[in-house]
Amino acid sequence: MAQDMEITVNGMMETVPRDSTLDSLIVLFEEEHPELIAELNGRFVHRQDYAATKVGPGDRVEFINAAFGG
């Protein structure tokens, strides 16, 4: 049974599994969409690196929508 940890997602405190990756959080928070920009502790993370990017206690994750209207 994985333990939980607290992190911040889009400015809100959230309790998530301790073994979370950016990829698993995207599934958990239903952020799988093509215009997603993901950020860990203020740093942009490449899409191909989501699965390998581990998230730890106290980390700050941001999910942002790139937009394509004009």
Over the window 15 to 54, marking each residue x when it contacts another protein by CB under 8 A and - when it does not, the resulting string is: ------------------xxx-x-x--xxxxxxxx-----
The neighbour count for residue 50, using CB atoms within 10 Å, is 17
Number of residues that bind another protein (CB under 8 A): 20
Contact between residue 50 and residue 23 where contact means Cβ atoms under 8 Å apart: yes
Strand order, beta sheet including 60-65: 12-17, 4-9, 60-65, 36-40, 43-44
Query: How near is the Cβ of 45 to another protein at its closest, in Å?
Result: 7
Positions touching another protein (CB under 8 A) are 33-35, 37, 39, 42-49, 64-70
